[in-house]
Structure 1
Amino acid sequence: MSVASPPRVAIIGAGFAGIVTAIKLQRAGIDYVIFERSEGVGGTWWENRYPGAETDAASHLYAYSFAPYDWSRTHVRRAEIQEYLEHVAESFGVMDSIRFKETVDSVTWDDASCEYVVQTAAGESERFGFVVSAVGLFASPKFPVWPGLEDFSGEVVHTAEWDEALDVTGKDVAVVGTGSSAAQVVPTVAPHARSVTVYQRQPGWVLPKGDRDFSAWERRLFSLPMMQRLNRVRLYVRQERREWHGAVFRAGSRMNRRWENKARAYLAEVFADRPDLADALLPDYPFAGKRTVVTSDFYPALLRDDVHLVPKAVVSCTSTGIIDSDGAERKADVLVLATGYVATRFLASLQVRGRNGIDLNTVWGPDPYALAGLMVPGFPNFFIMYGPNTNGGLTVSNFEHEADFIVSQITRVLRKGKSQVDARGSVVSAYNRWVQHRISSTAWVDGSNYFASSTGRIVTQWPEGAAVYALVLLALRRLGTRVS
């Protein structure tokens, strides 16, 4: 049975992944609609408005290959990234196809019509031939369950849900966590707060970012698309050398030791006069065991007289303060939860039902899996961007390759006059055995990180570089799927 022509595609999310998919579909002449729960484009860069939010990646890499931009810095801040995505959406005619402030609650496959029924939070439903989830990996903030947290009388804010009206001027601020978001918040709020106390459960490896503003002549130079593309290639090759065959992720490898030594040298340099801080900030696990923090501002901020590091976990709260694992209480007016996301709960905010009404999260259990992160057998015409085991490498480049894969599958269905495409179960099983085998020799398996599910299986990370992922997607276009 063929889907009524022309079939439409529902894209859920208007961040980097959703926008590039829309552009690729548009070029292929395929109709689409984007559902976006927020008021604007940007995805995580619309939602994450905490002070100091910026990218770890170089700006010329953290952009679409086909859409160069006049970036102001080597590594740009949240507002500029969000402006870039608005610019791209408008320039490529995507904006008119976005339905803002529309949250998708569920997508349900109709076996009879070979379509998905997309249900929104407003109670409206609509049918689509294909669905692309572009909700991202970091969509569900992780909240602690400390005793007494609900009794804390001060202001509590998670970095993922920052209140822009929050004023920390002259206040005692407690920041829980020392990951990437905390490393950006602390240096930004410290000059305004009366004091900042940073609670560290486990230190992370930190590398200097080396970020700066582009000079006027650099901006003129990079205004030439060819020069910006050449710089992008240079940056791409540099990162691929580091991640080729997952070298930097494998504890004890020459590349891994090289970067660990860089991190150790940076730690020793900044805290040459504070051996107590140097000791407290030195990880006891191999480099890359958890996400590396890339910042040139966090370590210097910890040297301020009004910033205090507590290398202890938080265990509870009182109405006026925070209690650490040693039982010490410290007063606070503002509590900042830089506690990250529940990254292993893919599609936690979306119910997906496939053939015969099967529920995707039920099929997954605690260990999500997919064909190259994109397709799960039994859920035809449904694609997941930034899905299981795709985190890492060059994120935006990966999104472009994923979008190409999706468009190739849809056009294949249409060209053959068929109604659906599904992942081959045997290929999915073999592929995921290979991925887990590659992961088994990385530092991730022994690290305390957000990569592992409750069973200990690493379900978020890609163990190779971007080039290998692109080649895998090309190979799986036919080998990994079946059209019917």
Structure 2
Amino acid sequence: MDLIIIGSGFGGLGMAFHAARQGQRFLVLERAEDVGGTWRDNIYPGVACDTQSHHYSFSFAPNPDWSRRFAPGPEIHAYLRDTANRFGITRNIRFGCNVTRLRFDMADTLWHVESSRGIFRARTVVSAMGQLTEPAFPALPGLADFAGPVLHTARWDAGFSASGKRIGVIGTGASAIQLVPELAAEAGHLTLFQRSAPWMCPKDDRDFTESEKRRFRRFPLWQRLYRYSIYWSWERSWPEFLDGSRRQKRRSREMLEWLDGQVASPELRRQMTPDYPLGCKRVLLSDTFLPALERPNVDVCTAQIRRVTPGGVELAGGTSIDLDMLALATGFTAQEFLPGLAVIGAEGKELHEVWEEAGGAEGYLGIMVPGFPNFFMMYGPNTNLGHNSIVFMLECQAHFISKAIRRLHRSNKKTIAIDSHEMAGYQQTLQDELARTAWAGNCTSWYKTGSDKITSNWSTTTLGYWLKSRFWPKRLSVD
């Protein structure tokens, strides 16, 4: 093949659209039996996006019929299915194909792609496996001995009923604030175990009216302008993520004032007040989470869990809490880029070993790594965001990769790769910029490694990323 794409979420389908438009012979290899990535896998109650629907969609496939400002998960999954079918991508997807190893053969300058459905060969490979795919499980003693159901939000049982049950939810991240209100409405009692309070702001979610949908359908330009307005409103918020900036301080005061107005209980306000700078961890949006915590059948527990017992949990002070079910809203192994995939480059080195030597994952624009010719990543290192839509970043990456592949084909060369000196200069600038941000603050988050190297987030505005993705690096090896 000309190109093999691994994964069929937003990244994989966006890349496939560009490949089809260029007339390339390509395949999408998907380990599951359906497209959708994280929106296929996450089916917990209340799952939804925290980026507005019209901005959390492809620019080439606008959807005038979104039901809400922030679409629920099943609707986003349906949109991805429709996009794959509408643009003829589905026929190029091999489902049930789990890729385990990539090896670049210098003799034939091809990538050998080993999978559960055999070996494929291609000139170029794009990994669109995503960053939020493998669930992270807490290292709690006794967790395996718990007698009731233990459900991670990324591996939810659609048949589970919370009615009348004593439920413990571990975590207060993006999935927890959506899950807790849904479970609390049915549970006999719910205990939320919180390690640190999140920064939160109102979501202001609502249904779109039928007249609004008709307007989007009849006037595509209006829909596009609406999308642009969302983009720029988020882009203007970037200074809030610069550590110590006026905008950060002002926004912090606004969020704390909003918290005071939302929560009547002084004790709950104390528990839900963050003790780290705004933006150091992911900022959350919700209209329903704080009211759910004030329900009479809900408690917030900030004590450390000593161990899990067959009938509940034991806290550090010795107190026991009886539970019928545990819900793990503990996120993903976001620092483990390309989990379960061995990538052997031109010099025989394995990519994860290269990253380990560097102290964490690295990639030029999160896309290319020296020594790995004709290999590209989407949603790779340092391409996550705190203030805008990841779909925008994915489209920038798909454009850059398509341009690289087109350049390779037109030049009659066999390989294209980023120069190691170019990569070193880029990485130094990136980390210097990141040191100014709130993500470098004194908190534990999935944005950085245990050594405090920030490997997840982009270092400046999305407009800056767009500009960089439109120009070639100064030193690019094309052989």
TM class by shorter chain equals over 0.9
Matched, 1:288 2:279: yes
- 1:67-216 alignment runs, 5 A limit: 67-69=61-63, 70-122=65-117, 124-216=118-210
Shift of 1:167: 1.8
- Is 1:374 matched up with 2:367? yes
Alignment partner of 1:8 is 2:2 = yes
Take 1:348 and 1:11, find their aligned partners in 2: how far apart are those partners?
16
The equivalent of 1:426 in structure 2 is 421
Question: Which of 211, 217, 228 is the equivalent residue of 2:223?
Answer: 228
Deviation sequence 1:43-97 (CA, Å, 0-9, x none)? 0000111111110001111011121111010000000001111111111111111
Q: CA deviation at 1:478?
A: 4.5
Moved more, 258-267 or 34-43: 258-267
1:421-454 residue CA offsets vs partner (Å, 9 max, x unmatched): 0111111111111110011011212222111112
SS at match of 1:80: helix
In 2: Cα distance, 1:199 partner to 1:261 partner = 26
Matching of residue 356 in structure 1 with residue 351 in structure 2 = no
For these two proteins, the number of residue pairs brought into alignment is: 472
Distance in 2 separating the partners of 1:373 and 1:40: 26
Deviation, structure 1 residue 139: 1.6
Q: Which amino acid aligns with 1:31?
A: R
Deviations 1:245-287 (A, max 9, x none): xx1211221221232122112210111x201000011011111
Paired letter, 2:140? W
Question: 2: distance between equivalents of 1:394 and 1:177?
Answer: 24
Matched, 1:22 2:13: no
Cα 1:480–1:232 change in 2 (3 A) is farther
**Mapped pair 1:337 → 2:328:** yes
Unaligned stretches of 5+ residues in structure 2: none
Task: Note if contact 1:39-1:101 (Cα within 8 Å) is conserved in structure 2.
Answer: yes
Aligned residue among 256, 259, 264 for 1:267: 259
Aligned residue among 380, 386, 392 for 1:397:
392
Amino acid at match of 2:155: E
Return the offset for 1:130.
Answer: 0.6
Q: Distance in 2 between matches of 1:234 and 1:108?
A: 44
Identity rate, percent: 38
Shift of the 412–278 alpha-carbon distance from structure 1 to 2, 3 Å rule, reads same
Task: Report the equivalent of 1:44.
Answer: 38
Aligned to 1:465: 461
CA-CA distance at 1:480 after TM superposition:
4.8
Whole-Å separation in 1 of the counterparts to 2:315 and 2:331: 19
For 1:26 and 1:292, the matched residues in 2 are separated by 37
SS at match of 2:468: helix
* 1:474 is the counterpart of 2:470: yes
Letter in 1 for 2:35: V
Q: CA deviation at 1:317?
A: 0.5
Contact 2:422/2:473 (CA < 8 Å) preserved in 1? no
What is residue 250 of structure 2 aligned with on the other side? 258
What is the distance in 1 between the residues matched to 2:473 and 2:198?
Answer: 41
User: 1:451 aligned to 433, 447, 450, which one?
Assistant: 447
The worse-fitting range, judged by mean Cα deviation, of 174-183 and 351-360 is: 351-360
CA distance in 1, matches of 2:246, 2:27: 47
Deviation, structure 1 residue 377: 0.3
- TM-score, with structure 1 as normaliser: 0.96
CA RMSD, aligned part only? Answer: 1.1
User: How far off is 1:218 after superposition?
Assistant: 1.2
Residue 270 of structure 2 is matched in structure 1 by: 279
How far 1:470 sits from its partner (Å)? 0.6
State which drifts further: 313-322 or 296-305: 313-322
Report the alpha carbon displacement of residue 394 of structure 1 after superposing the two structures with TM.
2.3
Give the letter for the 2:467 counterpart.
Answer: L
Q: Report the Cα distance in structure 2 between the residues aligned to 1:173 and 1:479, rounded to whole angstroms.
A: 56
Q: Give me the whole-angstrom Cα distance separating, in 1, the residues matched to 2:269 and 2:115.
A: 51
Where 1:356 maps in the other structure, the secondary structure is coil
- The code of the aligned residue for 1:277 comes to L
SS at match of 2:108: coil
Show structure 1 runs of 4+ deviating over 6 A. Answer: none
Distance in 2 of aligned mates of 1:464 and 1:325 = 41
Q: Say if 1:56 and 1:294, in contact at 8 Å, map to a contact too.
A: yes
- Asked if residue 321 in structure 1 is aligned to residue 312 in structure 2, the reply is yes
Contact 1:418 1:483 in 2 (8 A): yes
Instruction: Quote the Cα distance in structure 2 between the aligned partners of 1:325 and 1:402.
Output: 46
Alpha-carbon distance in 1 for matches of 2:415, 2:151: 44
Residue-by-residue CA offset, 1:91-144 (whole Å, 9 max, x unaligned): 11111111111111111111101011111134x111111110000011221111
Secondary structure (helix, strand or coil) at the match of 1:267 reads: helix
Contact 2:194 / 2:301 at 8 angstroms: preserved in 1? yes
Q: Distance in 1 between matches of 2:277 and 2:271?
A: 16
SS in 1 for 2:167: strand
8 Å contact kept, 1:371–1:480: no
Q: Secondary structure at the match of 1:479?
A: coil
Is 2:302 aligned against 1:311?
yes
Distance in 2, Cα, partners of 1:327 & 1:263 = 35
SS at match of 1:355: coil
